[in-house]
Amino acid sequence: MTAPADRLLDAWVGLTRLAAPVGRLLVARRRRQGKEDAGRWPERLGEGEEPAPDDRPTVWIHAASVGETVAALPLIGRIAATGVRVVLTTVTTTSASIAAARLPQGAVHRYVPLDLAPPMDRFLRRWRPGLAVFVESEIWPVAVARLSAAGVPLVVLNARMSDRSFRGWSRFRGVAAAIFGRIELCLAQSADDAARFRALGARAVAETGNIKFDAPSPEADPAEAAALAAAFAGRPVLLAASTHPGEEAIVLDAFGRLGAAAAADALLVIAPRHPARGPEIAEEARARGHATRLRSAGELPDAATRVYVADTVGELGTFYRLASVAFVGGSLVPFGGHNPIEPARAGAPIVSGPHVGSFRDSFGALTIAGGAAIVEDAAGLAADAALMIGDAEARRRRTRAAETVVARHAGALDRTFAALEPRLAAMRAGGAPRSAEGGP
């Protein structure tokens, strides 16, 4: 007998069929706002270019944004090397740019279809995946239901569940069980994440760790990296990485508080989370009297430059390596923070604001070990930056502690691939999945 929650999920899938015109309106609105790729927006509706004829089995991997994409790339490389085709989907144009530059042979990128039954079914019919892999916290009811109807196993890897998300799902335990119960395997980042997925109805859950501890940061072209290093000319560098609206003003305040004694020739590098905001950030810095240059304009800083806006994609690792101290953004505003593992691997001393809920485990391990500092405001950021710039031994202690934490937590990529390999082997042995037709 079908449980009431299963019937409710089926009813929701059916309603999304009726709402298909709304999906087209939504994509059209996002196009007007510049949030969709001008040449590839039909992919969001499950349409667009047909895949090339290919008899290889296919894995669908979905990684929502930049951090998940970078983390998934080494795993994609391993899967593609086995002869299995990978179709990687993302949401943002920034993550699409990284995928275009770094996907291995045998893998392709598409924008993810909206979580409505018609776009999702079109996508599944086009690509006929034998396995679906969602990265971290992407749980879409329609996608989960249609994959189940098509007989496509779903794995959630690097799975994490915030306190807020768990509370939200827990209000609807029956529906949650209908959705999470359709996940074949959940590979969780931590014991707490594993417990939350189990409580919501996931059937098979294992704690494999965080694959971001094994993922390299995106680096600039070697010639470009050398040109940047030469332009920085050994100056002390305060890097503000992955900043959000409102945060740049705080960082600029902190930079103004450093003072000539602490860093007379210091350079502030601001790498916004959304590179399209680069010109407005540059104008804000100039309005404060700082000589400012913009990387997207092809400019390099000179001796007079005080603020350099790094509004490009795929170069953050290089800026981390050049930083005397790296502030990890999204944390002085209530966003939830960003991945501190990238600067730790690059050897940059890490400082963050207090809002790090999205990366609580990583920041917890780093701060306990002395591998990162948490500050509350511009004054705290200025004080920590002055310490890191002025005290080479303090800087070495922090970076060594962070490197130790990273080394201790490495290996999640191997464990994750080992968990997927039996399913990949079964796919290579044959057996195509049913297409996503019929059903509600």
List, by residue number, the catalytic residues: 68
- The candidate with the shortest Cα–Cα distance to 65, out of 338, 310, 331, 332, is 338
How far is Cα of residue 177 from the mean position of the Cα atoms in its chain? 26
- The candidate with the shortest Cα–Cα distance to 190, out of 163, 159, 226, 217, is 159
Residue bearing tokens 């917890």: 364
Q: Are 162 and 358 in contact (CB under 8 A)?
A: yes
Distance CA 244, CA 36 (A): 20
What is the phi/psi pair of residue 91, to 5°? -100, -45
Distances (CA, A) of 273 to 195, 313, 328, 358, 440: 31, 9, 10, 15, 39
Q: What angle do CA 375, 391, 304 make, to 5 degrees?
A: 85
- Name the packing angle between helices 392-409 and 378-390 (round to 10°): 100
Which helix (H) or strand (E) segment holds residue 17: the answer is helix 4-18
Helix boundaries (H) for 56-127 = 66-81, 93-102, 117-127
Torsion angle, alpha carbons of 362, 365, 368, 369, to 10: -110
- The candidate with the shortest Cα–Cα distance to 239, out of 190, 202, 248, 67, is 248
Torsion angle, alpha carbons of 231, 93, 351, 207, to 10: -130
From first CA to last CA, the distance across the chain in angstroms is: 17
